Amino acid sequence: SAVISQKPSRDICQRGTSLTIQCQVDSQVTMMFWYRQQPGQSLTLIATANQGSEATYESGFVIDKFPISRPNLTFSTLTVSNMSPEDSSIYLCSVAKLAGEPQETQYFGPGTRLLVL
């Protein structure tokens, strides 16, 4: 597996502001993803972070609201822009295709718990 860290672990933000969440992996991975887990709900994929190109967004998520960067094979950021209380959620980074792993198992970071007032 991989060791995945996220910063910040939690934050309280005012509506209208933006927050950037960082995801760092201790080894190179092919694929990185960002998920949202709203209170009492399951995980929903926001986007696939592609290294060197624009992220691939799922239906209902757009780049202007959730810009993503992936400058290399071990790091990605997700920004939650122009936040509203509806964005209060846990945001999780996950990775797949670790070196030596031929199949697509995803491993998850600890999450960033966001509260928007």
Burial class (CB in 10 A: 0-12, 13-18, 19+), 51: middle
Rank residues 75 and 107 by Cβ distance to other proteins and give the closer one: 107
Residue 67 Cβ, how far from other proteins at the closest point, in Å?
20
- Contact present, 4 and 95 (Cβ < 8 Å): yes
Residue 31 Cβ, how far from other proteins at the closest point, in Å?
7
Rank residues 13 and 45 by Cβ distance to other proteins and give the closer one: 45
Residue 48 Cβ, how far from other proteins at the closest point, in Å?
8
Spatial CB neighbours of 107, under 8 Å, sequence gap ≥ 6: 1, 2, 4, 94, 95, 96, 98
Rank residues 61 and 81 by Cβ distance to other proteins and give the closer one: 61
Rank residues 2 and 19 by Cβ distance to other proteins and give the closer one: 2
- Interacting residues toward other proteins by CB under 8 A: 1, 31, 33, 41-45, 58, 92, 96, 103-111
Residue 101 Cβ, how far from other proteins at the closest point, in Å?
11
* Residue 66 CA: distances (Å) to CA of 2, 79, 106: 25, 5, 21
Q: How far apart (Å, rounded) are the C-alpha atoms in residues 75 and 84?
A: 26
